[in-house]
Amino acid sequence: MLVRFITQLRDAGIPVSVTEYLALLEALKAGIADHSVDDFYGLARTILVKDERFYDRFDRVFSAHFSGLESLLDMLVGADIPEDWLRKLAELQISPEEKAKIEALGGLEQVMEALKQRLKDQKERHQGGNKWVGTAGRSPFGAYGYNPEGVRIGQESSRQRSAIKVWDRREFRNFDDSLELGTRNLQIALRRLRRFAREGAAEELDLDGTIQATARNAGWLDLKLRPERHNSVKVLLFLDVGGSMDDHVKVTEELFSAARTEFRHLEHYYFHNFIYESLWKDNRRRHQQRIPTQELLRTYGPDYRVIFVGDATMGPYEIIQPGGSVEHWNEESGAVWMGRLMAAFPRFAWLNPQPERYWEQTSSVGIVRKLLEQRMYPLTPAGLERATRVLNAR
């Protein structure tokens, strides 16, 4: 059974290996998770998942895999459980101190009642009416019997959540790196960019290393050098503004300006939908202060890396036709200008804030991708990683 669970995790893209599987078995054998689902969930996550990015995926696989088990249990148990049978069972699970606490709260009945109420509330809040809680509403045995901690929810410690809730709530959704950039993801993306910035390997004298090596050499001078770490990356950023892009552009600007100290040069220019003969630097004065694209081609050398950010969603004629721009009459088509940029700056990439799965649906995205030799990447930490790899290629 667990083997299937492991393969499902692997299918979901969580790197689980045999070592970890064996470790999990070892842990189970050592009796760390004393046969409650909560504990098993915690244990399995601790051992199998090594990055909070994967917590959400883990939760989903766990829920899918073990919900079948639960419905089986439901079937076995049936619907009608005598009330006092249930109470017996609950009493069995309660220690004397806990009993005293329950007494203080007005007896078991009330606690049970409160608990039932709580479970009901849960169901209502829960989208899609989850069967775990649903079952619990009608036939409390499912909840209490299967998950003795359920009784403890009713007392006071809300920390002691039913584990099902934990993995069905998907609290770690934000950590998944296939998501778009959020504030937390932004930090991770920044680190990617930083790594991208730390390139270049001139040599400098390693003083400590030299002293060490010389001493080891019994006094004969032994010079040591190490690669110098400096930021030599120069970046030109082209941002699509107007319309649907504004939110994304803000995120991207923040991202790059936060990484600004890491780049030796970072310049950004705005465009609308596609690149034509002129761009601007200040959105408020876009009509007064235009900068000819030709000037850019002359100003910046081929060592600049070029990053376009845009959703590439427009009419195809805006790219391929002269005069296709929605804002003005352009003598030459956008594709021609793009070709010039690509020739001048061989290291380029396009970041698209739209999720990758929608790209197929828009023909202009396909055209841009073809034009850019498929160097379009989603604006996610994972996408940035791929983009930086391309940008770093010699």
Partner 1 sequence: MQNERFVGTQRYVATEDLSMAVAAAVTLGRPLLIKGEPGTGKTQLAEEIAGFLGRPLYEWHVKSTTKAQQGLYEYDAVSRLRDSQLGDARVHDIGNYIVKGRLWEAFCSEVQPVLLIDEIDKADIEFPNDLLREIDRMEFYVYETRELVRARHRPIIVITSNNEKELPDAFLRRCFFHYIRFPDEQTMRQIVDVHFPGIKKELLAESLTAFYRIREVPGLKKKPSTSELLDWLKLLLAEDIAPEALRATDGKATIPPLYGALLKNEQDIHLFEQLVFMHRRTTR
CB closer to partner 1 out of 161 and 265: 161
In this complex, which beta carbon is closest to partner 1, that of residue 267 or of residue 385? Answer: 385
**C-beta of 30 vs 92, nearer to partner 1:** 30
Tell me the C-alpha distance between 348 and 343, whole Å: 10
Nearer to partner 1, 220 or 329 (CB): 220
User: Least Å distance between CB 38 and partner 1?
Assistant: 7
10 touches partner 1 by CB under 8 A: no
Q: Choose the stretch contacting partner 1; rule: CB under 8 A; options: 16-24, 73-81, 274-282, 318-326.
A: 16-24
The answer to the question of residue 257 lying near partner 1 (CB under 8 A) is no
- The residue among 214 and 321 lying less far from partner 1, judged by its C-beta, is 214
23 lies in the site for partner 1, by CB under 8 A: yes
Vertex 133, ends 126 and 161: CA angle to 5°? 85
CA distances for 228 relative to 14, 49, 225, angstroms: 36, 36, 9
The alpha carbon of residue 115 and the mean position of all alpha carbons in its chain are separated, in whole angstroms, by: 35
Kindly state the helix (H) or strand (E) to which residue 265 belongs, with its residue range.
strand 265-271
Among 2, 7, 10, 26, binds partner 1 (CB under 8 A): 26
Q: Name which position in 69, 79, 207, 211 contacts partner 1 (CB under 8 A).
A: 211
Of residues 168 and 318, the one with the C-beta less far from partner 1: 168
Q: How far is CA 178 from the centre of its chain?
A: 5
Cβ–Cβ contacts within 10 Å for residue 303, how many?
13
**Interacting positions 166-185 with partner 1 (CB under 8 A):** 171-172, 175, 183
Using the rule CB under 8 A, is 114 a contact of partner 1?
A: no
The least distance separating partner 1 from the CB of residue 215, rounded to whole angstroms, comes to 4
Distance CA 183, CA 227 (A): 33
| From 8, 12, 20, 155, residue interacting with partner 1 (rule: CB under 8 A) | 20
Distance from C-alpha of 59 to C-alpha of 176, rounded to nearest angstrom: 12
288 binds partner 1 (CB under 8 A): no
Q: What φ, ψ does residue 290 adopt, rounded to 5°?
A: -100, 145
φ/ψ of residue 311, rounded to 5:
-90, -5
Q: Given the complex with partner 1, which of 172 and 274 has the nearer CB atom? A: 172
Q: How far apart are CA 291 and CA 365, in angstroms?
A: 26
- Point out which span in 12-20, 234-242, 292-300, 349-357 binds partner 1 (CB under 8 A): 12-20
Cross-strand bridge partners of residue 305: 235
Q: Which of 330, 393, 334 is nearest to 367 (CA)?
A: 334
Contact code string over 32-71 relative to partner 1, x by CB under 8 A: xx----xx--xx-xxx-xxxx--x----------------
3 state SS of 211: helix
For residue 30, state whether it binds partner 1 (rule: CB under 8 A): yes
Least Å distance, CB 276 to partner 1, is 33
> Which part of the chain contacts partner 1 (CB under 8 A), choosing from 20-28, 124-132, 309-317, 342-350?
20-28
Q: Which of 212, 283, 363, 374 binds partner 1 (CB under 8 A)?
A: 212
Distance CA 43, CA 122 (A): 25
Quick note: the x/- pattern for partner 1 over 137-166, rule CB under 8 A, is --------------------xxxx------
Name the nearest CA neighbour of 209 among 218, 199, 221, 197.
Answer: 221
- For residue 241, what are its two tokens? 């503004």
Q: Which pairing describes strands 278-280 and 203-205: parallel, antiparallel, or unpaired?
A: unpaired
Q: Do residues 279 and 291 lie in contact, with contact meaning Cβ atoms separated by under 8 Å?
A: yes
Q: What does the binding site for partner 1 look like in residue numbers (CB under 8 A)?
A: 15, 17, 19-20, 23, 26-27, 30, 32-33, 38-39, 42-43, 45-47, 49-52, 55, 157-160, 171-172, 175, 183, 187-188, 191, 211-212, 215-216, 218-219
